[in-house]
């Protein structure tokens, strides 16, 4: 399996970290991405520029490969299904991608499999939302193409219904949650399953992006077990091969509900590169190549801070304060090979480790105020 010709649909930062992990095993990786300046461009042994959503492009890319995986869900599933029929290994399976691509199908799947999730109703368009006024406050979510905080809109009351999307979506009851958690699960074709330790995500109040993350989550053993159990059961229900990132709500009364899932490496697992025996990226390779899964044990408590482009700056990226970070023990910046910064663009992340939780949190504060991605002349 290690000598397979492997394709990744998508050459963004997740692809880049998959590539970095693949170096250890001399994996033969081919990348498809529409952007000539994609993060993977310079590092990928083979890079094809092309649309991920065009049937012919995806089919042509895959037809001489053995194993195909994704780092983004928004891909042409029909082409992957055709390749699967020809005997290619497509992991995650097209059937899984199809279910997850559409949040409406995803949510119905949870109901069907008796997996806990917030109450919801399907809506066909903006007008339709008016039929569920007693369901508010709620989040209106686009069925398809939502990503990274896009495609989700809070609708608190009738007066806000004009904020709802005018496309097929779903209205999900706003759950008064205490915490947002995430568990990344890996499953290989032999059915072996391993979960990474539960993490706690802290969201940016306005941008709906993970601002930082703690691992392990500060929760009781009981809640932790519940979260791990749900994540495992979700991966089993999908029968996924590869990684499944399961985002969860912990409610005030100790309920754990699935928010949504992603069938690939995830923002909530970047810290595993530094902090865990096996990273989520290596684990993904193990899973899809039908190898034994690696230990997910953590070496120390850790945190992860997303490094976003500073508001008000657009142009060649300059990383202000990197040296300060590198002068702090066990602070590990990772940059995403994006030449151009834009306001709130994900430009990198920083993993922070410390055996002492209080010291860890102090380091997080220090990191957040020490580094900025602005535009300027990188060579100055």
Whether the Cβ atoms of residue 265 and residue 283 lie closer than 8 Å to each other:
no
Residue (44 or 75) nearer to a second copy, CB:
44
Lookup: tokens for 66: 């053995």
Q: Is residue 25 involved in binding a second copy (CB under 8 A)?
A: yes
Lookup: tokens for 59: 């089919």
Instruction: Say whether 327 counts as a known binding-site residue.
Output: no
Residue (103 or 274) nearer to a second copy, CB:
274
Q: How far is the CB of 71 from a second copy (least distance, A)?
A: 15
Q: Is residue 43 involved in binding a second copy (CB under 8 A)?
A: yes
Q: How far is the CB of 219 from a second copy (least distance, A)?
A: 25
Q: Is residue 322 involved in binding a second copy (CB under 8 A)?
A: yes
Q: Is residue 238 involved in binding a second copy (CB under 8 A)?
A: no
Whether the Cβ atoms of residue 73 and residue 67 lie closer than 8 Å to each other:
no
User: Rounded to an integer, what distance in angstroms lies between the CA atom of residue 243 and that of residue 188?
Assistant: 9
Q: Is residue 24 involved in binding a second copy (CB under 8 A)?
A: yes
Whether the Cβ atoms of residue 363 and residue 354 lie closer than 8 Å to each other:
yes
x/- string (CB under 8 A) for a second copy, residues 250-279?
---------------------------x--
Q: Is residue 343 involved in binding a second copy (CB under 8 A)?
A: no
Instruction: Say whether 159 counts as a known binding-site residue.
Output: no
Instruction: Using the structure block, give the residue that is written with the tokens 């990197």.
Output: 322
Instruction: Say whether 260 counts as a known binding-site residue.
Output: yes
Q: Please identify, among the stretches 179-187, 213-221, 252-260, 334-342, the one whose residues bind a second copy according to the rule CB under 8 A.
A: 334-342
User: Rounded to an integer, what distance in angstroms lies between the CA atom of residue 290 and that of residue 79?
Assistant: 23
Residue (292 or 343) nearer to a second copy, CB:
292
3-class SS of residue 314? coil
Size of the site for a second copy (CB under 8 A): 36
Q: How far is CA 122 from CA 54, 104, 160, 256, 273, in A?
A: 28, 7, 18, 22, 38
Q: How far is the CB of 291 from a second copy (least distance, A)?
A: 5
Among 49, 237, 330, 375, binds a second copy (CB under 8 A): 330
Q: Is residue 42 involved in binding a second copy (CB under 8 A)?
A: yes
Q: How far is the CB of 339 from a second copy (least distance, A)?
A: 9
Q: Is residue 20 involved in binding a second copy (CB under 8 A)?
A: yes
x/- string (CB under 8 A) for a second copy, residues 279-298?
-------x----xx-xx---
Which residues would be at the binding site for a second copy (CB under 8 A)? 2-3, 16, 19-20, 23-26, 42-43, 45, 277, 286, 291-292, 294-295, 299-300, 319, 322-323, 326-327, 329-330, 332-337, 353, 378-379
């Amino acid at each position: 399996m290690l000598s397979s010709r492997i394709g990744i649909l998508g050459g963004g930062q997740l692809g880049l970290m998959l590539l970095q992990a693949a170096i250890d095993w001399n994996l033969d990786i081919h990348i498809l991405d529409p952007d000539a300046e994609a993060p993977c461009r310079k590092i990928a042994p083979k890079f094809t520029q092309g649309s991920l959503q065009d049937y012919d492009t995806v089919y042509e890319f895959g037809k001489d490969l053995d194993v195909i995986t994704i780092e983004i869900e928004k891909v042409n599933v029909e082409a992957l299904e055709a390749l699967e029929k020809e005997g290619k290994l497509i992991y995650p399976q097209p059937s899984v991608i199809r279910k997850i691509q559409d949040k409406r199908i995803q949510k119905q799947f949870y109901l069907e499999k008796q997996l806990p999730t917030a109450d919801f109703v399907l809506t066909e368009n903006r007008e339709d939302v008016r039929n569920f006024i007693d369901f508010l406050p709620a989040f209106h979510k686009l069925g398809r193409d939502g990503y990274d905080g896009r495609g989700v809109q809070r609708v608190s009351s009738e007066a806000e219904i004009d904020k709802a999307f005018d496309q097929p979506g779903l209205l999900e009851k706003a759950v008064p949650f205490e915490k947002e958690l995430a568990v990344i699960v890996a499953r290989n074709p032999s059915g072996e399953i391993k979960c990474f330790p539960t993490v706690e995500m802290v969201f940016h109040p306005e941008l709906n992006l993970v601002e930082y993350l703690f691992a392990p989550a500060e929760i009781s053993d009981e809640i932790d077990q519940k979260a791990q159990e749900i994540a495992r059961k979700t991966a089993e229900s999908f029968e996924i091969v590869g990684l499944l990132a399961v985002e969860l709500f912990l409610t005030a009364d100790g309920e754990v509900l699935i928010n949504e899932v992603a069938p690939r490496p995830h923002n909530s697992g970047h810290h595993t590169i530094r902090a865990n025996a096996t990273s989520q990226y290596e684990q993904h390779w193990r899973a899809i190549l039908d190898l034994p899964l690696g230990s997910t044990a953590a070496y120390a408590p850790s945190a992860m801070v997303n490094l976003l482009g500073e508001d008000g700056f657009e142009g060649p990226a300059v990383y202000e304060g990197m040296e300060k970070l590198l002068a702090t023990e066990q602070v590990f910046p990772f940059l995403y090979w994006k030449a151009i910064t834009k306001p709130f663009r994900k430009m990198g992340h920083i993993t922070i480790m410390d055996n002492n939780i209080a010291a860890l949190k102090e380091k997080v504060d220090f990191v957040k105020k020490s580094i900025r991605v602005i535009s300027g002349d990188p060579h100055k």
